[in-house]
């Protein structure tokens, strides 16, 4: 019964506060009815609540939930989760962040730099855990990686080498690669990625073509711009705020445009994309659960170092390569962690 109430609470933004109160009232009433005289001598246990602000999806990342369970947390029993999604719309960030703050959750988890920045503006007291972020120091989310110094900590997906490594991989498999589009949402995260990729691009003799979008309605125009600019490669920086359906649509546009494209998201190749090179997101979501556990046990975000990925995975989709008439060199295939045939 508690599980059903928690689910209702996480799905109904208009009655979230009321539902939380009813969950607590129900728990007290149920305890008295079930325990009789024993219940009169006991106080009901208050469970901690986690706010979860995502850019897309219908619930928290499964790897995050599994990470909590591995640490002994069970939804509706000793933990509650308030889930909110912006549905890929940046204009919803502020309202949803303010709502989670009003609910007075113990900690908030989010998975994108823009949402983390909005949450930080909304509260300087509720701990915020980033399941992923782009350059949290450059974005102004933390003072430094070792000692964040505020109420924000967690994980970052970006090292200064990531964009350069992705560009080098494209250069290895695409003969004559000289103009590469970087497709990402309008905002600081995309700007930072472009900036950190430019030194490698200059060294390789590749021109970077930034393609920023406000929402999925801009995708078609972005690809028309890529073709107009004579791009012969693309780096995907859609981020976690884009739904799986829209991500698949972008993959289809790369195939239609015959653009060899690489992404940091494993879901890219699973949706038919060519290459993935990046950190394992499932590992990062499980690590985010560890941060939540530490904070609930009394640790301060200011003292928890931000983690950067130490291992990157290369996944190659040979079916996608065949669709655009591309042959992947054996030297690259030999380095792949996984090959989809």
Superfamily of segment(s) 2-157+282-303: Response regulator (3.40.50.2300)
3-state helix, strand, coil in the chain (%, to 5): 45, 20, 35
pLDDT, one tens digit for every residue, the chain (341 residues): 333 333 333 444 444 444 554 444 444 444 444 444 444 444 456 899 999 999 888 899 999 999 999 999 999 999 999 999 988 788 899 999 999 999 999 999 998 888 999 999 999 999 999 999 888 998 899 999 999 999 999 999 876 688 999 999 999 999 999 999 999 988 877 898 999 999 999 999 999 999 999 888 999 999 999 999 999 999 999 877 788 888 899 999 999 999 999 999 878 998 999 999 998 888 999 999 999 999 999 999 999 999 998 888 999 999 999 999 999 999 999 999 999 99
Instruction: Give the CATH fold of the 162-279+312-340 domain.
Output: Rossmann fold (3.40.50)
Numbered ranges of CATH 3.40.50.2300 in the chain: 2-157+282-303, 162-279+312-340
Positive or negative, the CA dihedral 227, 230, 232, 234 is negative
**What's the pLDDT at 311?**
82
**What's the pLDDT at 321?**
97
Nearest to residue 232, comparing CAs of 263, 208, 213, 268?
Answer: 208
43-47 contact pairs (CB < 8 A, 24+): 45/78, 47/77, 47/78, 47/79, 47/80
**What's the pLDDT at 46?**
85
**What's the pLDDT at 159?**
67
């Amino acid at each position: 019964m508690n599980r059903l109430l928690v689910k209702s609470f996480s799905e109904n933004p208009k009655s979230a506060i009321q539902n939380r109160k009813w969950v607590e009232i129900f728990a007290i009433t149920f305890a008295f009815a079930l325990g009789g005289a024993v219940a009169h001598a006991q106080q009901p246990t208050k469970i901690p609540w986690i706010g979860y602000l995502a850019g897309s999806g219908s619930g928290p990342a499964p790897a995050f939930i599994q990470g909590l369970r591995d640490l002994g947390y069970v939804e509706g029993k000793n933990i509650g989760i308030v889930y909110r999604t912006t549905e890929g719309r940046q204009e919803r960030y502020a309202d949803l962040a303010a709502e989670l703050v009003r609910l007075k959750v113990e900690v908030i988890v989010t998975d994108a730099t823009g949402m983390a920045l909005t949450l930080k503006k909304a509260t300087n007291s509720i701990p915020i855990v980033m399941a992923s972020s782009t350059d949290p120091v450059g974005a102004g989310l933390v003072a430094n990686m070792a000692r964040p110094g505020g109420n924000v900590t967690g994980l970052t997906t970006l090292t200064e080498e990531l964009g350069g490594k992705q560009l080098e991989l494209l250069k290895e498999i695409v003969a004559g690669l000289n103009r590469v589009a970087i497709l990402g949402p309008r905002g600081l995260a995309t700007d930072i990625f472009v900036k950190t990729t430019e030194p490698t691009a200059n060294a390789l003799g590749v021109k970077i073509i930034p393609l920023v979008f406000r929402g999925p309605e801009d995708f078609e125009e972005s690809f028309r711009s890529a073709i107009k600019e004579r791009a012969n490669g693309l780096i995907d920086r859609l981020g976690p705020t884009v739904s799986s359906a829209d991500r698949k649509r972008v993959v289809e546009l790369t195939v239609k445009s015959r653009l060899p494209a690489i992404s940091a998201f494993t879901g890219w190749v699973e949706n038919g994309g060519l290459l993935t090179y990046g950190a394992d997101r499932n590992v990062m979501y499980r690590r985010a659960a560890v941060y939540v556990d530490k904070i609930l046990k009394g640790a301060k975000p200011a003292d928890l170092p931000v983690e950067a990925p130490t291992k990157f995975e290369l996944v190659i989709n040979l079916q996608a390569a065949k669709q655009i008439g591309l042959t992947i060199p054996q030297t690259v295939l030999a380095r792949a962690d996984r090959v989809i045939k």
